[in-house]
Amino acid sequence: MKYSVITFGCRVNQADSLGFEEDLLALGAVAAAPQDADVVVVNTCSVTATADQGARQTIRRIARDNPAVRIVVTGCYATRRPDDVRALPNVVRVVGNDDKPATVSLISTDFGLTTAARFGEGDGSCGAPIVPGVAARTAFTLRVQTGCAESCSYCIIPSTRGRPRSVPVEGVLAQIGRVVSAGFKEIALTGVHLGSYGRDLTPARSLGNLLRTIDARFGPESHNQRVLFRISSLEPMDCSPEIVDIVASGGSFAPHFHLPLQHASNRMLAAMRRPYTIEDYARLVNGIRARMPHASIGSDVSVGFPGEISADFEQLTSYLERSPLTHVHVFPYSDRPGTDATMMSGKVDGTTIRERGRRVREAAQRLSRRFHESQVGAVRPALTIDDGSSVVTDNYLKLRVPPRRARNEWVRARIMSQHEGEVL
């Protein structure tokens, strides 16, 4: 059987899709382009209306280019609007997030494949394990938590992902050991609400506790192969001094933070039901920058939230210009039926939202350029990706380099310009 997996959205979806790839390979399936595949798994996002539209367009295009294909759709859009997804061409199964772990078992039943244990849990004789390069991934994305109990007024995800559920610590360690044995040298830890990790476990644990346990088990002093861990998106209120200390210690964790701001107007933050102020956020990121001048600090911001007036928007752009952020993702607001924000008054018109988005993207470009320029001349550890003609540094700079190395090698890279480097 030939398969293809297409992924939309967050790192959690990326992690889930890597699991699909691994299970399908273990069953003896062969990766193929969507137009040549027998089955295509589409792992959807539903964070915005644009994400929904992108999934629909992709499914229609796959069916048009490959009329015999069977399409299995999962993820947040499939969970939120299953009937709409079922009506799309060539869709044979819709799998909600609660049933997502059974996706490949359902496919194996449909195609009469013999169920096989994942590599590392059986004898490894059924197909190949996932290795660096599968799904064009050099780093491995590992989901340690899913679900969210926060009440942000604009977000539909708690209703599509359910309550918070954490993978027990020993389960996380076992997964890391398996992934490292397969040859991966960089692992991104992710979750829907990563900062809530362990609160649902008995006894309760914390993300800081998990990170320290990982460092003790897989840190540079306890392991003969260097493994770098990245902490995926972390809500500002969850980025504790303990977590900053762990990253600043220079052990196993990359000097790379992603801390969604959403807005710099306290009035907007309150309307969004974000549990912090811009002053709280500024103290956090300024403290990180003071301790780690080389750290990358990314963020997400939203423009055009209901009730956003010019003064709110100017507070956002003014803060961004003076902030220590290094990259910013911009999300134009769109209504999500089922969220409280949908019912709010003061909707901002589309033309204004697009213009505000443009201005914030320009500010984000300036922040990125400023950080890259500040790093010129620095030498950073980096992992070769693609065909060895690019590297990603520990502080999340992607650089073109002369293609003298294979994929997935640790090197020392000197940063020469915004996009260029050299391997020493």
List of residues 6+ apart from 7 with CB closer than 8 A: 13, 14, 17, 43
pLDDT, residue 109, reads: 87
pLDDT, residue 116, reads: 46
Q: List the beta strands (DSSP E) in 24-160.
A: 30-31, 39-44, 70-75, 91-95, 140-146
List of residues 6+ apart from 138 with CB closer than 8 A: 132, 184, 186, 383, 384, 385, 386, 407, 408
327-386 pLDDT, tens per residue?
999 999 988 888 999 999 999 999 999 999 999 999 999 999 999 999 999 999 999 998
pLDDT lower than 70: segments of the chain: 114-130, 133-136, 221-225
pTM equals 0.88
pLDDT, residue 22, reads: 86
Report the run of H or E that residue 230 belongs to, with start and end: strand 228-231
Query: Is 332:300 a contact under the CB 8 Å cutoff?
Result: no
Q: How is residue 93 written in tokens?
A: 């199964």
Report the run of H or E that residue 383 belongs to, with start and end: strand 379-385
pLDDT, residue 135, reads: 60
Q: List the beta strands (DSSP E) in 34-153.
A: 39-44, 70-75, 91-95, 140-146
Closest CA to 260 of 334, 357, 327: 327
pLDDT, residue 403, reads: 84
